[in-house]
Amino acid sequence: MDRPKLLLTTVFGPYGIKNKYAEGVGMQMELFNNQITREQGVHSPRANYWTFPLYFLAENLSAVPTTVLDFPTWKDYIRELKKGYTHVGISFTQQNVIKAKRMTKYLREQYPETNIILGGYGTMLPDLEDIVPCDEICRGEGVGWLREYFGENPEAPIKHPIMHGVSQKYLYGFRDVIDDSGVLFPGLGCTNGCFFCSTSNKFNNSYIAFLPTGESVFAVCREAQEKLGVEGFAILDENFLKMPERARDLLVEMEQHRRPYSFAMFSSAETIAEVGVDFLVRLGVCLIWVGVESKKTIFSKVKDIDVHSLIAELQAKGITVISSSILFVEHHDKVTLEEEINWAIGLGTDLHQFMQLIPFPGTPLYSKYVAEGKMIPDFPYTKLHGQDELAFYHPHFTSKEAGRITREAFRKKYETDGPGVLNMALTVIRGYKRAKGDMKSREEAGLFWNPQTLRYERSTGYQIDEFMNLRIEQMRQRALEFRPLIPSARIFAPNNGSRKKAAQAAALYNETLGKPTLRERIRSYGLVCFATIEWLRIRVRRLFSRGEIVRQPLTCRVEYNSECSNFSPVETSKIPSGLQHRCNLSS
């Protein structure tokens, strides 16, 4: 029997382009422009993210030569298969099932001896095997499943990849305005068990910890800092703070080693209330995504919590808040939906995601709607992205009008609060100013951090809070990164209210940090030039009804557990930093 050789790949591109394999609206490989800063035009951050789970899986197979092919074109995929693989694993979402079908049909026709493995959220489809030819389906946690499948120890220690999370990013048409960060994948799943959530139900409302301790998280951060030079991290975990001891211990490690790493993470409101905002500031949380879901309290994670006050405190102390809510829930009618949208905007968060209610196969919501006959017959899986048509019959809205209402909700948020990046800049500078003032007040009052209660409390004896001084300096540097964006935010603002907000932001920056240096002014003017070009490109495309600019993610190919002798030509920039040491690039 041939030695196993595995290819792990995503579905092929292009992405966000409507064709017979996929949809356009709602299917860009971008988080912000697709569903957070939608309708914000030139102000919308444009970023693509590597398919991190594939690298994680490959890193944790010790004996099987494995190649990761991330964001391939169809030609890339065909070319790669010629290298000869005994197994091909395809990771896909439910919306990309037709692309997976095309890939597997080609495999069956051209390489009938190759074993096909399916993974990802697309495996939750009830009729998957009738649509996509395959030999195996990994429906749960992938590392243990793959190890056992290839005869390796499923309980072996987990090895965390060291890599950047972003493949490319643009702001105002300029690439790499804000420094890259690393990525952390502490665990899988969520115990909240929301009835609409694919993640909770894919992992049976449980949580699987890959980095179970603060020490293990810190070790990955430190290795990433040494290899990549990064100090900020995106935490890919549904609710990292659900294990508060891990977060506490992580802070202890950072304090002991004087390494104030910063984090962007997801969290539920009740978890934030439990640990407290001061703890998050000290921990280095610079951005947090909170699912508020609905004004009507139907979720335990927001029950009995003053969400508005909690968000205000987070922002006042320098933490950017992304909130998200669900439209077209059963209790919504023409009046209550408008109230819901206004309530969500009234929270005043820096950024907000409006997502339609989606009965994803595999969730309790889907089972309920199928039993009640509410699902629209033959609704294509490719449209299950929550930004256009509804997949179910709603008593007060048609499927078609839902797309218009969703788009208008994003537009209203933008026109009310202005560009999201401007809101973030204001939150950062206000937080820095507040942190300095709070530090001085605590010193005068003799208050010091108590790691047991996670609060500042009175203590005898004078102690310099050296770690918080490091954290405040980090907040200052973050504010400086945002400063050059303000002129572009003002010039291309959607209305006078946003222009006034930009002027207030500029004044606050001058008051807090002093007037901009010559270098900062040059950066601002340069960014305005790029923004002007990008704005014109957007206007021309709209004029000729060509839709918005869709930037395709870079293609990446990385080999593991081999000598890399057959490594194909690829630009170094297309390799996630930190993985380059695994391969020799051929010229």
Tell me, letter by letter, the H, E, C secondary structure of 16-80: CCCECCECCCCCCCCCHHHHCCCCCHHHCCEEEECCHHHHHHHHCCCCCCEEEEECCCHHHHHHH
469 pLDDT exceeds 60?
yes
C-alpha distances (whole Å) from 317 to each of 327, 436, 509 are: 30, 10, 16
* Residue in the block written with tokens 């030695």: 3
pLDDT in the model for residue 587: 22
User: pLDDT tens digits, residue range 261-275?
Assistant: 999 999 988 899 999
Give CA angle at 354 (22, 498), nearest 5°.
Answer: 115
pLDDT digits (tens, 9 = 90+) for 252-264: 999 999 999 999 9
Cis check: omega of the bond before 72, within 30 degrees of 0? no
Task: Identify the pLDDT of residue 562.
Answer: 64
Q: Does the predicted model carry a pTM greater than 0.75?
A: yes
Q: Which of 52-66, 162-176, 515-529, 562-576 has the lowest mean pLDDT?
A: 562-576
Concatenated DSSP letters of 505-528: HHHHHHHHH-SPPHHHHHHHHHHH
List of residues 6+ apart from 134 with CB closer than 8 A: 104, 116, 117, 118, 128
Helix ranges (DSSP H) in 360-495: 364-371, 399-417, 420-445, 466-482, 486-491
Around 93, how many Cα atoms within 13 Å sit in the side-chain half-sphere?
A: 19
Condensed to tens digits (0 to 9), the pLDDT of residues 278-335 reads: 999 999 999 999 998 888 766 656 677 789 999 999 999 999 999 999 999 988 999 9
H helix count then E strand count, the chain? 20, 19
Q: What is the pLDDT of residues 326-376, one digit of tens each?
A: 999 988 999 999 999 999 999 999 999 999 999 999 999 999 999 999 999
| DSSP string over 391-421 | SB--SS--HHHHHHHHHHHHHHHHHHH--HH
Q: Say if residue 565's pLDDT is above 50.
A: no
Residue 180 has pLDDT above 80, yes or no: no
Asked if pLDDT for residue 137 goes beyond 50, the answer is yes
Cβ(40)–Cβ(414) under 8 Å? yes
**Alpha-carbon span 408 to 402, nearest angstrom:** 10
pLDDT digits (tens, 9 = 90+) for 387-411: 999 999 999 999 889 999 999 999 9
Residue 429 pLDDT greater than 80, yes or no: yes
pLDDT tens per residue, range 7-51: 999 999 999 999 999 998 888 889 999 999 999 999 999 999 999
Q: What are phi and psi of 199, to 5 degrees?
A: -65, -50
Using pLDDT thresholds of 50, 70 and 90, give the confidence band for residue 431. very high
Residue 112 makes CB contacts below 8 A (sequence gap 6+) with none
Q: Which domains are seen in the chain, by residue range?
A: 6-159+554-582 (no CATH), 180-418 (3.80.30.20), 422-514 (no CATH)
pLDDT at 26: 87
Nearest 5 degrees, angle CA 162-CA 163-CA 169?
Answer: 165
Whose structure tokens read 């290819």? 7
Mean pLDDT of the chain: 91
- Laid out side by side, the sheet with 351-356 consists of 182-184, 232-235, 262-267, 285-293, 320-327, 351-356
- The pair of structure tokens assigned to 507 is 């004044």
Query: For residue 404, what are its two tokens?
Result: 């218009």
Per-residue confidence (pLDDT) for residue 299, from 0 to 100: 63
